[in-house]
Amino acid sequence: MSNNIILDKDIREDIKNILDVNMLVEAGAGSGKTTSMINRMVSLIVSGRCKVENIAAITFTRKAAQELKERFQNHLEQCYRDEEDSEIKSTLKEALNNMQRCFIGTIHSFCASILRERPIEGAVDPKFEELDDIADALIHKQSWQQYLLDIRLNYPEKLAKLNDCGIKPADLEGIFYRITDYPDVEIVCDETLKPDIAPSYENMKPLFYEAIKYIPKTEPEKGYDGLQSKIRSALRMIRYYDMDNETNIVNLLEMFESDQKVTLNRWLCDKEITKKTQQDINYFSQTQIRPVLKQWREYCHYIAMEFLMPAIEFYESLKSKQAGLNFQDLLLKAVNMLKNYPEVRTYFQNKYHCLLIDEFQDTDPIQTELMLLLTGQDTNEKQWSKLVPSPGSLFVVGDPKQSIYRFRRADIDIYNGVKQLFMQTGGRVVELTSNFRSMNTLGEWFDKVFKNLLPSKADSFQAAFSAVNTLNDDLPGTHSGVKVINIPIEYTKKQEILQCDAEYIAKVIRNAVDGQGIKLTRTEQETVAGLTEIPEYKDFLVLLRYKDSIDMYSKTLKQYGIPVQLSGGSSLLDVEELKEFIILLKYLKDPENKVLLVAVLRGIFFGISDRALAEYKLAGGAFRTYATIPEGLNENTNTLFATAYEKLKMYHRWSRNYHPVTTFEKIASDIGLIPLAAIGNEAKTSCGYIVKILEILRKNMIDNSDYNSMIDSLDAIMDADLEEELDISQEEQNAVRIMNLHKAKGLEAPVVFLAHPFKRPNIAPDHHIKRTELKSEGYFVIKKSTGEFSSKVIGQPLNWDEYEQTEQAYQEAEETRLLYVAATRAKNILLISSSEKSNRKNPWEPLLDFTDTKEDIYDIPDVQIPKQKPSEKPVETPVQLKKEDFYSFKKQIEDFIILQKEPTYLELSVTDIISDEPLHTVKGGLGPVWGSAIHEIIEHFVKDEAHYNHYKKHILSQYGFTEPIHIEKADELISKFKDSSLYSRIQKADVKLTEVLFSIKLDSNDEIYRFLNIEKALPVYLQGIIDLAIKENDTWSIIDYKTNYFETDEDLKLLVDHYSKQIKLYCMIWNMIIKQRAQSGELYFTGYGSVKVDL
């Protein structure tokens, strides 16, 4: 197709043939780096330098590893078929037979493999578990909660010290998560003297009193300006707040920390006086407020960090107890093992003769250390920068112009350091500049842009410019180059601009796929694959700088009948049924939460209208599941609420009686979650997501029966980056891909849109890592969330201004590299969104500077949203069918259905086996709902007597008992419980365990299985909750609370006989779980006392 010359052909041959030299290959966008890596891997085998099992190839993602593995095997097979030399053919055959012994995977899976091979030297549990993002997030949350509980119980003075700074523990949870991502970094926090902030406050008050004279008492028609509003707020604070409290002074001073602006015509004075007031306050801010607030935050930083450090120990301890290693642990443990055990290093160097690293520009310092420890000649040297890799042992591919993951610990300084090491130790640094991806028109534009945006020589912050040698010419009648999607000047607000942008993009795609617009030049391979010049949906890629508004672009494209594949955005949250279902599950966790209840009632599962909700409320109805529905309601409304409340009460019981994942499944089945998702626009994807999430929950909750933990798991799943885990089909879809820019790394498309021209990066740095040869120091700013998208600094390290300036330079350099990544995804056409009103907030503005505002404007086609066409039924050809054939087929179907209905296992709960209410129960008292409330209060009382009055009222109201008589009755029952011998034993017990949830598998030969007298010989999964287990003098007693109402001893005997089987069952289960027999089983009846059960 092209007569263009491959200028770097000799370098590609060197990569393939010069195998005894270490190489760092700087491979530009579209340069075929994966092909070069595969060619070298095959050459290593053919030359006899390595067997396939002596090669380790490290990739950035699992998806990239899978692609590399497939392409490597395909290339080996092709070489084997083409090879005529019998000896080489035999070598290739051996390699193919041993492919499974070649390591191709991520750096984390590689570290896990070498640690499992040498667990003793690695100081790891041989059966350690690799923690994914979800499991790690849960351990973070659990350890943080445990730490705060320990602080409250044992170190209240630390909380008081934190409170004196105006900081709450909740303000520090985010920074706790952040610093645990840097286990190799020393966190810097210097103790400073507490500044005296009172003088600044006192000196500022006269400015307020003077300024208030010129502020209207009645609010102007267009409102008070910014400075007026702040002065009024400050004076209210002075009047009503305790201004001896330093936190209040800090909050007041922070209002005036930034420069203030005024609207002159809203002041009751001359313009000159207004300007002087503004200048005086801004000058005061610069000379007094900012300096003292800086000192205050430096003082608070030390106190907050001092509070945080022990929390990290709790986190590490909990991971250790669970034998869990997160991604950073895997790297650190592997590095420490190789550092401290030279013989282990020698072992793995003998095992892996050649290490190949892809995407090296995004490596982090620990990965670099690991790489050089595995290839360095001196196995006793511990400092990576002094290691010299063995000749030919290391092949590294990267492009510093595409280093875009600094927020994930990637460090371009490390890349530059390794590059220097290669050049100083006999290695080669080569560059691949030929671009096989993009058309020549694009290549010329890339050079014009990035010659201006990148320096000619690399420096500490930025990669050097390198010309792109594209090799593809246009065919006549096709389109290529750079175009601008121009949003007219009349669109001024953010939502208007984005909606217009999304619609224009949808029209361009719709028009092109319909054969009316863009025409593409195809490669020879694409033509062979059947692609024509008319684009398909999968030929389009829509990139946003951030995931903000990604769902809006998705919905707009769908309106135009365009299929969409989301990536790196809120794809999970786009499944409306899943969002609503999680709200329902969260309500069951917190059934007193009226906001959640109303959200559930008006959601898709119950569909109660706002009008019906208002009617219910106006009739005196209370939004509580156990509330009585008021009289006088419309019959329809009454039925809606009665049905909804009955369902919710049933779901609440399930959440208490079943394992959380079983609860999830049962509610999902009962409410029709999957069928609802199946009739939506993205049925296949939505149903797949739900099934996959259930699978993740099963894995993470296998040894955890806490309902709240499942909710935490769901939150972690929704927040985590689960792109690969949730890719159900693992195949390319014919759909337009929409994603945020960081997800586009390594991807390409014939037509690329750079969309969303209204969110420019403007995020102040919040941490800086200073690395030297001997150590790494971390400077972390502590921020407090003040809204969904806002925060304020509450602590900062000493000299942060200096570190912030350095980090800002790194961030700005990375933004330029992100532009390079964005632009070079395009093969044929790049379309950049632009607002005619203003591009001040447009992240693509630097690229727009190199377009022609008139000639490059793309003419948006006049395309309407397509109308839904009625489906046309195909003409059916009648089929002659004999009567006996029909009945035979019908019988086969019926038999198949009967067979499929047969269960392969049974799932039972103890409450399925022993009912809560025996038939002979005496009716009376306050009913079973009251019993459930008292049961729950006793459970809480055993765990936490100190807060009895708080949770007593909460639990009673949750069940609908709000009258004073109910509280008195509960107090009476708890008082009797406290006077009981059981309570005394609980206090003296060596161990007490409350609400022991269990889920066990039983086979037909188990003692419990026979005890239950189950007829079908199927595996049984038995679940339940043991109310209380206490250990006294090395013997266990199992206790179950009962709240049944009875009047006579005969009634009590009947109840004991009924529940004895339950206690015997619990004792047998206890023996099975902990391998220690329970010597005693008891029933505690509220208001009566304990009754022992003969075991």
Average pLDDT over residues 714-720: 78
DSSP assignments along 7-63, one per residue: TTHHHHHHHHH--SS-EEEEE-TTS-HHHHHHHHHHHHHHTTS--GGGEEEEESSHH
Residue 626 binned pLDDT confidence (cut-offs 50, 70, 90)? confident
- Residue 420 is encoded by which pair of tokens? 């220097």
Would you say residue 298 has pLDDT above 50?
yes
Please indicate, yes or no, whether residues 346 and 306 belong to a single structural domain of this protein. Answer: no
Please indicate, yes or no, whether residues 743 and 696 belong to a single structural domain of this protein. Answer: no
Burial category of 762 from C-beta neighbours within 10 Å (exposed 0-12, middle 13-18, buried 19 and up): exposed
Does residue 448 sit within a domain?
A: no
Please tell me the least confidently modeled range out of 925-929, 983-987, 995-999, 1086-1090.
925-929
* Residues 388-401: tens digit of each pLDDT: 999 999 999 999 99
Please tell me the least confidently modeled range out of 459-463, 610-614, 854-858, 960-964.
960-964
**Phi, psi torsion values for 194, nearest 5 degrees:** -70, 125
- Residue 883 is encoded by which pair of tokens? 């009567």
Please indicate, yes or no, whether residues 313 and 164 belong to a single structural domain of this protein. Answer: yes
Please indicate, yes or no, whether residues 314 and 193 belong to a single structural domain of this protein. Answer: yes
Q: What is the pLDDT, as a whole number, of residue 867?
A: 78
Region class of 531: left (phi > 0), else alpha (psi between -120 and 50), else beta? beta
CA-to-CA dists, residue 1013 to 885, 996, 1010, angstroms? 44, 24, 5
Would you say residue 528 has pLDDT above 80?
yes
Q: Return the CATH number at 95.
A: 3.40.50.300
Please tell me the least confidently modeled range out of 75-89, 404-418, 1065-1079.
404-418
Please indicate, yes or no, whether residues 990 and 1065 belong to a single structural domain of this protein. Answer: yes
Residue 570 binned pLDDT confidence (cut-offs 50, 70, 90)? very low
* Residues 902-920: tens digit of each pLDDT: 777 787 888 777 765 555 5
Average pLDDT over residues 61-79: 93
Does residue 870 sit within a domain?
A: no
Would you say residue 722 has pLDDT above 60?
no
Please tell me the least confidently modeled range out of 326-335, 632-641, 910-919.
910-919
In the chain, how many domains are there? 5
The residues facing 753 across adjacent strands are: 542, 831
Is 480 strand, coil or helix? coil
Would you say residue 569 has pLDDT above 50?
no
Residue 25 binned pLDDT confidence (cut-offs 50, 70, 90)? very high
> What average pLDDT is seen over the chain?
89
Residues 754 and 832: beta-carbon distance below 8 Å: yes
Please indicate, yes or no, whether residues 750 and 790 belong to a single structural domain of this protein. Answer: yes
Does residue 445 sit within a domain?
A: no
Please tell me the least confidently modeled range out of 158-162, 279-283, 475-479, 1016-1020.
1016-1020
Average pLDDT over residues 104-120: 95
The percent of residues in the chain predicted with pLDDT above 90, rounded, is 63
* Residues 470-481: tens digit of each pLDDT: 999 988 999 999
Q: What is the pLDDT, as a whole number, of residue 399?
A: 93
Does residue 817 sit within a domain?
A: yes
Q: How many other CB atoms are found less than 10 A from the CB of residue 541?
A: 23
Please indicate, yes or no, whether residues 825 and 924 belong to a single structural domain of this protein. Answer: no
Sign of the CA dihedral with 61 first, then 65, 66, and 71 last: positive
Average pLDDT over residues 923-928: 65
Between CA 1080 and CA 1038 the distance in angstroms is 6
Between CA 401 and CA 393 the distance in angstroms is 25
Residue that terminates a domain, selected from 719, 754, 770: 719
Q: What is the pLDDT, as a whole number, of residue 728?
A: 45
Between CA 696 and CA 700 the distance in angstroms is 6
Does residue 900 sit within a domain?
A: no
Closest by CA position to 254, among listed 646, 614, 791: 791
Does residue 293 sit within a domain?
A: yes
Between CA 93 and CA 77 the distance in angstroms is 8
Per the listing, tokens 């840097």 go with 182
**Phi, psi torsion values for 992, nearest 5 degrees:** -130, 130
* Residues 1060-1095: tens digit of each pLDDT: 999 999 999 998 888 888 889 999 998 889 999 988
CA-to-CA dists, residue 721 to 576, 631, 725, 1061, angstroms? 19, 50, 9, 48
Q: Return the CATH number at 642.
A: 1.10.486.10
Residues in CB range of 415: below 8 A, 6 or more apart: 360, 361, 363, 398, 400, 403
Per the listing, tokens 């990267």 go with 398
- Alpha-carbon Rg of the chain, whole angstroms? 35
Residue that terminates a domain, selected from 276, 304, 321: 321
* Residues 503-515: tens digit of each pLDDT: 999 999 999 999 9
Which comes out higher in pLDDT, residue 922 or 837? 837
The residues facing 1032 across adjacent strands are: 1035
Between CA 23 and CA 15 the distance in angstroms is 8
Between CA 200 and CA 287 the distance in angstroms is 10
* Residues 773-827: tens digit of each pLDDT: 788 899 999 999 887 668 899 999 999 999 999 999 999 999 999 999 999 999 9
Does residue 561 sit within a domain?
A: yes
Residue 2 binned pLDDT confidence (cut-offs 50, 70, 90)? very low
Sign of the CA dihedral with 539 first, then 542, 545, and 548 last: negative
Please indicate, yes or no, whether residues 548 and 598 belong to a single structural domain of this protein. Answer: no
Would you say residue 230 has pLDDT above 70?
yes
Please indicate, yes or no, whether residues 116 and 137 belong to a single structural domain of this protein. Answer: no
Please indicate, yes or no, whether residues 1025 and 1074 belong to a single structural domain of this protein. Answer: yes
Region class of 715: left (phi > 0), else alpha (psi between -120 and 50), else beta? alpha
Q: What is the pLDDT, as a whole number, of residue 682?
A: 62
Average pLDDT over residues 334-345: 96
Does residue 419 sit within a domain?
A: yes
Q: What is the pLDDT, as a whole number, of residue 696?
A: 82
Q: What is the pLDDT, as a whole number, of residue 727?
A: 53
Q: What is the pLDDT, as a whole number, of residue 729?
A: 46
Please tell me the least confidently modeled range out of 366-370, 518-522, 1002-1006.
1002-1006
* Residues 937-970: tens digit of each pLDDT: 998 898 888 888 878 888 888 777 888 899 999 9
Would you say residue 858 has pLDDT above 60?
yes
Task: Supply the range of the domain harboring residue 45.
Answer: 9-128+327-436
Residue 175 binned pLDDT confidence (cut-offs 50, 70, 90)? very high
Residue that terminates a domain, selected from 848, 869, 886: 848
Would you say residue 686 has pLDDT above 90?
no
Please indicate, yes or no, whether residues 757 and 704 belong to a single structural domain of this protein. Answer: no
Look up the pTM and report it. Answer: 0.78
Please indicate, yes or no, whether residues 688 and 816 belong to a single structural domain of this protein. Answer: no
Q: Return the CATH number at 1064.
A: 3.90.320.10
Average pLDDT over residues 331-348: 96
If you count DSSP H runs as helices and E runs as strands, how many of each does the chain have, helices first?
Answer: 39, 27
Would you say residue 339 has pLDDT above 80?
yes
* Residues 359-384: tens digit of each pLDDT: 898 888 889 999 999 999 999 999 98
Report the amino acid identity of residue 669: S
